[in-house]
Chain A
């Protein structure tokens, strides 16, 4: 049985003069240890689906389960990483990383050690005593990643975590998160509207379309671990994503003889 199961989930928002369907009968399964990307244009319900999986929101109908249990509330087993990092500006980098460890009732000394270990993992050990505002966006997102990993969760949810970063930093972080998560055997659900990002990261890409939000196709990405952004395989998968979104110009020429 699959690890995460989404069965016939709809999310309908009330709006003046009727309702708005953000998610329309979405079904999906995710295996343990899988890296799944939700890809689609703005408004297709990626964040809505992720919120439901993370327990921040509930579906209007249908069911969403992790490990056979219905998702009803956020939990330390499944940590969400937000686009705007969600760091607490009044806490130092180290204290931010310790946040989840406090709830786990760890002793101060152990919290400090764990925080430093994960800050080292993301290359920010030297910045432990800084405040988030003193760090660049890329560094802040690294802190958020360290904070999430520090509680050793099974699942990471990421909602466009790199969207606010410049292209170079973004690619570096993509490579890092990919390596870290595969090494630590996390299950990842990663929202993006960047096609290349999805191909670099994902084991499978879930292609979503808006109005109403639904799953259009699910593409397996088989790059045999070689995530070279310029390889022919990469370009081939890119081509298939374009086709799925109907972004490739079709040959519509009509011939009159």
Chain B
């Protein structure tokens, strides 16, 4: 029932956008090479699919994204668990994290290129940075906000380290880290394209650069839509995972 309703909303929204888009094209009188019509974009899609370019670039982007995102959240979670547990260290690192967090990963680009060169690495590093801070901060906050009664129960029932970490701390913080993981996924996806614009030879960011350089606005638009749809799918996917975690690890106390 809910999916039917969601599908209806999605369809309605798509039609609305298409209509507005076509109206803009008809009324604006832009050159087709600068601003494509929906139909031209559809043809662009067809071309990209027929060439196998779209599949290749989606594969490349998702591959990079997986490596950058997964390595980032893994490190951020481990570090967050340790730093959240040992409050003394975090008191010193917290100001540093707070200063680094609001800096757009793109600002580091010249240094990233200096350290890692161009090509494959900049995209990975930028995704890594984009995902890192939301997860680190969520994990630290989750560990520090752990219900004190859980730790008392652990102490009372004779649960010692490292079992406290596996039996109590990790399951207790999981639902709250899940929110950080979700946030990080969205942020990292936004920066994927930017990262791939720096010398990558494949991926959706590369596709965008390539289409622009060849004055192929239709392909550019097709790439943009692809990025949006994939972002939506990734978001839906992690929402499902997040809900499952919430059900399984139950975040409420009473």
Minimal Cβ-Cβ distance residue in B for A73: B155
Alpha-carbon separation in the docked complex, A88 to B156 (Å): 14
On whether A100 and B152 interact (CB within 8 A), knowing A132-B250, A140-B254, the answer reads no
Contact with A along B225-254 (1 / 0, CB 8 A): 000000000000000000000001111111
Tell me whether A234 is interfacial, beta carbon within 8 Å: no
On whether A100 and B158 interact (CB within 8 A), knowing A88-B171, A132-B250, A137-B254, the answer reads yes
Which chain A residues in 84-124 approach chain B with CB under 8 Å? 84-86, 88-90, 99-100, 102-104
Contact of B150 among A76, A86, A104 (CB under 8 A): A86
Contact with B along A198-237 (1 / 0, CB 8 A): 0000000000000000000000000000000000000000
Q: Is B159's CB under 8 angstroms from A74's CB?
A: no
Q: Is B168's CB under 8 angstroms from A88's CB?
A: yes
Q: Is A89's CB under 8 angstroms from B155's CB?
A: no
Tell me whether A56 is interfacial, beta carbon within 8 Å: yes
Q: Is A89's CB under 8 angstroms from B157's CB?
A: no
Q: Is B248's CB under 8 angstroms from A151's CB?
A: no
Tell me whether A79 is interfacial, beta carbon within 8 Å: yes
Q: Is B149's CB under 8 angstroms from A82's CB?
A: yes
CB distance from B143 to the nearest CB of A (A): 15
Q: Is A76's CB under 8 angstroms from B156's CB?
A: yes
Q: Is A85's CB under 8 angstroms from B254's CB?
A: yes
Alpha-carbon separation in the docked complex, A88 to B250 (Å): 9
What secondary structure prevails in chain A residues at the interface with B?
A: loop
Q: Is A84's CB under 8 angstroms from B157's CB?
A: no
Q: Is A89's CB under 8 angstroms from B152's CB?
A: no
Tell me whether A127 is interfacial, beta carbon within 8 Å: no
Minimal Cβ-Cβ distance residue in B for A157: B156
Q: Is B149's CB under 8 angstroms from A84's CB?
A: yes
Tell me whether A5 is interfacial, beta carbon within 8 Å: no
Interface size class of A (residues with CB under 8 A): 20 to 34
Q: Is B250's CB under 8 angstroms from A133's CB?
A: yes
Residues of B within 8 A of A3 (CB): none
Q: Is B254's CB under 8 angstroms from A86's CB?
A: no
Residues of B within 8 A of A137 (CB): 254
Q: Is B157's CB under 8 angstroms from A76's CB?
A: yes
Residues of B within 8 A of A140 (CB): 254
Tell me whether B7 is interfacial, beta carbon within 8 Å: no
On whether A88 and B152 interact (CB within 8 A), knowing A103-B159, A140-B254, A164-B254, the answer reads no
Q: Is B156's CB under 8 angstroms from A80's CB?
A: yes
CB distance from A108 to the nearest CB of B (A): 15
CB distance from B227 to the nearest CB of A (A): 36
Minimal Cβ-Cβ distance residue in A for B160: A103
Tell me whether A54 is interfacial, beta carbon within 8 Å: yes
Alpha-carbon separation in the docked complex, A234 to B201 (Å): 86
Which chain B residues in 153-207 approach chain A with CB under 8 Å? 153, 155-159, 168, 171-172, 174
Q: Is B251's CB under 8 angstroms from A89's CB?
A: yes
On whether A74 and B251 interact (CB within 8 A), knowing A86-B150, A90-B171, the answer reads no
Alpha-carbon separation in the docked complex, A80 to B252 (Å): 21
Residues of B within 8 A of A164 (CB): 254
On whether A103 and B254 interact (CB within 8 A), knowing A88-B168, A90-B171, the answer reads no
On whether A89 and B156 interact (CB within 8 A), knowing A84-B149, A140-B254, A164-B254, the answer reads no
Contact of A99 among B149, B153, B174, B248 (CB under 8 A): B153
Q: Is A103's CB under 8 angstroms from B171's CB?
A: no
Q: Is B250's CB under 8 angstroms from A89's CB?
A: yes
Q: Is B250's CB under 8 angstroms from A90's CB?
A: yes
Contact of A56 among B155, B159, B249, B251 (CB under 8 A): B155
Alpha-carbon separation in the docked complex, A132 to B251 (Å): 11
- Pick the 6 closest A-B CB pairs, nearest first: A89-B250, A103-B158, A100-B157, A90-B249, A90-B171, A86-B149
**21 A-B pairs with C-beta separation under 8 A:** A54-B156, A56-B152, A74-B156, A75-B156, A76-B157, A79-B156, A79-B157, A82-B153, A84-B149, A86-B149, A86-B153, A88-B150, A88-B171, A89-B253, A90-B248, A90-B249, A103-B157, A103-B158, A103-B159, A133-B252, A164-B254
